[in-house]
Amino acid sequence: MKNWPLWEVFIRSKNGLSHKHVGSLHATDSEMAMENARDVYTRRMEGVSIWVVESKHITASNPEESGELFEPAQDKVYRHPTFYNLPNELKHI
Amino acid sequence: MLHDYIISLGDNALILGQRLGEWCGHGPALETDMAMTNISLDLFGMTRSYFQYAAEVEGKGRTEDDIAFLRNEREYKNVQLVEQPNGNFADTIARQFFFDAWHYLFLQELAKSSDAQLAAIAAKSIKEVKYHLRFSSQWVLRLGDGTEISHEKMQNAVNDLWMFTEELVTSTDLEKEMADKGIGVDVSQLKTAYYEKLESILREATLEIPQKQWMQQGGKSGIHTEYLGHLLAEMQYLQRVHPGATW
């Protein structure tokens, strides 16, 4: 148990469109990780699709770098597509 | 006659479910703890279905709880395999795999029963059992084809429990009678496929298949190993000490 790698688990619910992160678990390989995720994270019908990724393969942004990564986008309203008037005939954009 | 048969089907699930429940909070890791207790709950679900139906067929006013908790040792007709103690994780996995491999084949046949209720129970249960078999097979492979220690423990577990396998595929008179009526399954017909499955997984797990040996029988006639009494003492404690308790 000491050297079982850590895996992150993502589940898509029945009515969902994207997989959401629900937690993590330990397993020796991807098949076991899948089965453990099914046993631990889908007991209450939380989802119909599971993705497991070894934690080491996820690169996360560093909170200390939030300043340069995210603040510049805050006051650039021209990047949002809000000034275009959609004709009424277009229903499914 | 029919209700006796149904109860015997439920007994395997009941006793094995009880054994797996003993792992709750004691599993080697959180994930396996949950996996085993999930399997236990699945088995209890099947037990309830069988016992509710048996009580109805019997028509004597017994409830599923009466059938589950108020019988004496020799009235339980589970196979001796399922009452064997949990031991270490390898022992539990070996017991589980030996049972699951049979259970899957059995339910495939029971789903063809002329009794609609039994066929329905089988159709629902087989999806759960397919997963149980996947879980236990995968662990046999990982423990067998694992480290030296895991291999040794898994081999010991296989050797110790091998003598309990044949009972699963030995038909009693009751089973033959039920099979003749199209209601039940003649489990002796499953023998070849059963041992083929066991041997293919054991081989892949680099484990030795035990030599031909004397096989233990008796559970289906109510003759049990010394373990069942202790298991029932624990399982029935509440119902015996507080008869008719509800909450």
- What is the interface pTM, i.e. ipTM, of the complex? 0.78
Which long-range contacts link B208-216 to residues 24+ away (Cβ below 8 Å)?
A: B208/B155, B208/B158, B210/B158, B210/B159, B210/B162, B213/B162, B213/B163, B214/B163, B215/B163, B215/B164, B215/B165, B215/B166, B215/B167, B216/B80, B216/B163, B216/B164, B216/B166, B216/B167
A27 inside 8 A of chain B by CB: yes
**Which three-class secondary structure state does DSSP give residue B235?**
helix
What's the CA gap between B189 and B12, in Å, rounded? 19
Set of chain B residues whose Cβ sits within 8 Å of the Cβ of A46: none
For the segment(s) A1-57, the CATH number from 3.10.20.520, 3.40.50.300, 3.40.190.10, 1.20.1250.20 is: 3.10.20.520
Average the pLDDT over B208-236 and give the result: 96
Residue A74: pLDDT band by 50, 70, 90 thresholds?
A: confident
> What DSSP element (H or E) covers A20?
strand A20-26
* Contact state of B138 with A32 under an 8 Å Cβ cutoff: yes
CA pair distance B40, B17, nearest whole angstrom: 4
Per-chain mean pLDDT for chain B: 96
Residue ranges covered by each domain of chain A: 1-57
Residues 6+ apart with CB under 8 A from B192: none
Q: Is B28 on the interface with A (CB under 8 A)?
A: yes
Summarize pLDDT for B28-55 with one digit per residue, the tens: 999 999 999 999 999 999 999 999 999 9
Assess B24–A contact: CB distance below 8 Å, yes or no: no
CB contact (8 A) between residue B138 and residue A31: yes
CB contact under 8 A, A43 and B138: no
Token couple for B135: 């879980």
The mean pLDDT value of chain A amounts to 89
Q: B2-241 falls under which CATH superfamily?
A: Ferritin, core subunit, four-helix bundle (1.20.1260.10)
Chain A residues lying within 8 Å of B40, measured CB to CB:
none
List, edge to edge, every strand of the sheet that includes A6-12: A20-26, A6-12, A49-54
| pTM (2 d.p.) | 0.91
